[in-house]
Amino acid sequence: MSETRRPGDWPRATDAEFGPPLAGDYRAAPEDFVVEEVLGFAPEGHGEHLWLWIEKRGLTTLDAVRHVARECQVSPRAVGYSGMKDRIAVTRQWLSVQLPGQPAPDDLIERLAACGVRVLEQARHPRKLKRGVHRANRFTLRITGATVNAQLEARWAWLCRHGVPNLFGPQRFGPEGRNLARARAVLDRGWRKRDDKEGMLLSAARSYLFNELLAMRLADGSWQRLLTGDVAILDGSASQFVVEALDAELAERAERLDLHPSGVLWGVGNSMAGGEAVAFEQTLSERHAALCQGLERAGVRMARRALRMRLDQPQLEVTADVARLGFHLPRGGFATAVLRELLDHPTLTSFAQRTTPGREPG
């Protein structure tokens, strides 16, 4: 079968219950999209790495890294970060900079502020901040438009009860899906590091395949329940196990969002899935043989990702035609996956983006 689905055309979980959502807007200004990294631990207060708790707007995380490196007169490789945060947003996250035996420059805070990077706190730590070590991200969002009505509250309650499809957001694929188109071309001729230094194209291809598999599970309703042979992931952790036989206890744990079914992030290796669950992966490999084989030739390792994510500490406040949402998502979860269940907006279901928002979130 050919690869005909346009990125962004994946189904919504809430449509069967409520029908398609009405139009709305969610990022009229950076202050409408606030992201705060939840690290899960604190710097120890000593060591050769200076950790900076920063707030930025109008900058990507890599922009902030370059500013810190320049002002501290170090290589960008000496600056660590855990996740990539949006550009068109107000975001707070930790960065680390290696300064062995050196104090921070006296005017570092002022010089970074002039670049749009506000330092809220600083502390020392023995180790560099590594990618993917934070626990979660806290989102505070403002949405407006016709979608802000009584049905919005019902949709929100449904998502809090059943969870949210853990789709990769449109940022992963680039404006108009161009990252995916580039990934296809690079993988067709054979992936090389020099063509994709940051691994962005490999990530776009794997994310697309994952979303395609999740779309199949959304279509048959099994995205939120365990199947025989599923690889179950414990909520809030990386712990996983194969569901050899489905019983009432496992089904009940999945219903209360303690366990989630998972999907494959394609690459080299043997899938852990079996039974009913592996059939979806086999269909995926048949429908998208070129992408799957290209990723295998590139040598990327197979991994797993939960098909569903739980809204932690959810909050909703509706005033007139404005809704304010607050929630935690696990590391790697996209707030745009939540928003596409609540409102109709071109940047959530297609890739004709009015601006390039950067990455959300790492």
Let me know: does 49 contact 125? Beta carbons within 8 Å.
Answer: yes
Measured CA to CA in angstroms, residue 266 lies from 164, 231, 251, 305, 345 at distances of 22, 14, 26, 10, 29
**How many alpha carbons fall within 13 Å on the CB side of residue 216?**
19
Contacts with 296 (C-beta within 8 Å, 6 or more apart), sequence order: 266, 267, 268
Of the residues 86, 196, 230, 235, which is catalytic? Answer: 86
How many other C-beta atoms lie within 10 A of the C-beta of residue 259? 25
Q: Which residue has the tokens 């992201």?
A: 35
86 carries an active-site annotation = yes
Residue 250 in tokens:
């496992």
Q: Left if phi > 0, otherwise alpha if psi is -120 to 50, otherwise beta: which for 184?
A: alpha
> What is the Cα–Cα distance from 109 to 71, expressed in whole angstroms?
10
Which residues make beta-bridge pairs with 37?
Answer: 137
Write the DSSP symbol of residue 106.
T
Host H or E run for residue 327: strand 322-330
How many other C-beta atoms lie within 10 A of the C-beta of residue 88? 20
> What is the Cα–Cα distance from 21 to 321, expressed in whole angstroms?
15
Let me know: does 50 contact 174? Beta carbons within 8 Å.
Answer: no
β-pairing verdict for 90-98 and 33-38: parallel
> What is the Cα–Cα distance from 262 to 242, expressed in whole angstroms?
10
**Positions marked catalytic:** 86
